[in-house]
C-alpha cells in the first residue's frame, strides 16, 4: 500500500512539473484563426481564438465569419482609449439570431482571459448575461472593468496598429464614428 501511495505521489509530482513547463499559449489548446480585412488599411487584423476558453462564443463567432456575416459591416462603436466594436449595431433591432450563453465569471462560467490590450470579447446587453449574438469588441487598451462581465474569447496577434487607428477616429456623443470603417472580409484561416 505504501508503495502505491509513493508511486501516486511521484506521478502527480511529475505531472505537475510537466504542466509547469508549458508556456501561456500552450494553455489555450486548439486555437482557431480569423483574418479581418479592413477598409483603408493594407494590413489586416489577425485574431487567434481560444475555443478552450469560451467554446460556445468561438463556435458562434466562427459560424458568423464562415457565413460571410461580418463582410461589409462597420465598426459602429468606438470608445476612445478603450474598444472598437462591430456586429449588428442597429439600435432597437431584433436579434438576427438566438442569443448565446455568456461565458464569463458573473454568469457562473470560468473564463480567466483578461481584457488586456488586443483581447477580443463578445458584446452583450448590460441587463442580460445571455444576450450576445453578433457584436464583438477588440480592446484597444487594458480594460479590467470588462473582466468577469464579458466573454473574452481570443486576441489580436497582428494588426494592432489598425485597431489603434480606428480607435482614434472622431465620434459623436454616443460613440458612433463620423468616418465609417468597414470590415471588407472576415475569414477563417490556417496559420
- Could you list the residue range(s) of the whole structural domain that residue 125 is in? 28-189
Nearest to 94 by CA among 122, 125, 70, 73: 125
Q: For the segment 119-146, what is each residue's pLDDT rounded down to a tens digit?
A: 999 999 889 999 999 999 999 999 999 9
Residue 121 located in a structural domain: yes
Percent of the chain with pLDDT over 90: 75
Residue 22 located in a structural domain: no
Residue 45 located in a structural domain: yes
Q: What is the CATH number of the domain that holds 180?
A: 2.40.100.10
Percent of the chain with pLDDT over 70: 80
Total number of domains constituting the chain: 1
Q: What is the pTM of this model?
A: 0.82
Residue 156 located in a structural domain: yes
Q: For the segment 38-60, what is each residue's pLDDT rounded down to a tens digit?
A: 999 999 999 999 999 999 999 99
Residue 113 located in a structural domain: yes
pLDDT number for residue 28: 45
Amino acid at each position: 500500500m505504501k508503495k502505491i501511495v509513493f508511486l501516486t505521489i511521484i506521478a502527480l509530482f511529475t505531472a505537475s512539473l510537466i504542466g509547469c513547463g508549458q508556456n501561456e499559449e500552450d494553455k489555450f489548446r486548439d486555437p482557431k484563426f480569423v483574418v479581418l480585412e479592413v477598409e483603408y488599411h493594407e494590413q489586416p487584423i489577425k485574431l487567434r481564438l481560444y475555443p478552450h476558453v469560451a467554446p460556445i462564443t468561438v463556435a458562434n463567432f466562427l459560424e458568423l465569419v464562415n457565413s460571410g456575416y461580418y463582410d461589409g459591416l462597420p465598426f459602429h462603436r468606438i470608445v476612445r482609449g478603450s474598444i472598437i466594436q462591430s456586429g449588428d449595431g442597429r439600435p432597437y433591432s431584433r436579434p438576427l439570431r438566438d442569443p448565446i450563453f455568456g461565458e464569463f465569471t458573473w454568469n457562473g462560467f470560468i473564463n480567466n482571459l483578461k481584457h488586456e490590450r488586443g483581447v477580443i470579447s463578445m458584446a452583450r446587453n448590460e441587463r442580460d448575461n445571455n444576450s450576445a449574438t453578433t457584436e464583438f469588441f477588440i480592446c484597444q487598451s487594458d480594460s479590467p472593468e470588462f473582466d468577469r462581465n464579458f466573454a473574452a474569447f481570443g486576441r489580436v496577434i497582428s494588426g494592432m496598429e489598425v485597431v489603434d487607428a480606428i480607435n482614434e477616429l472622431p465620434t459623436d456623443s454616443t460613440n458612433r464614428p463620423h468616418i465609417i470603417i468597414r470590415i471588407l472580409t472576415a475569414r477563417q484561416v490556417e496559420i
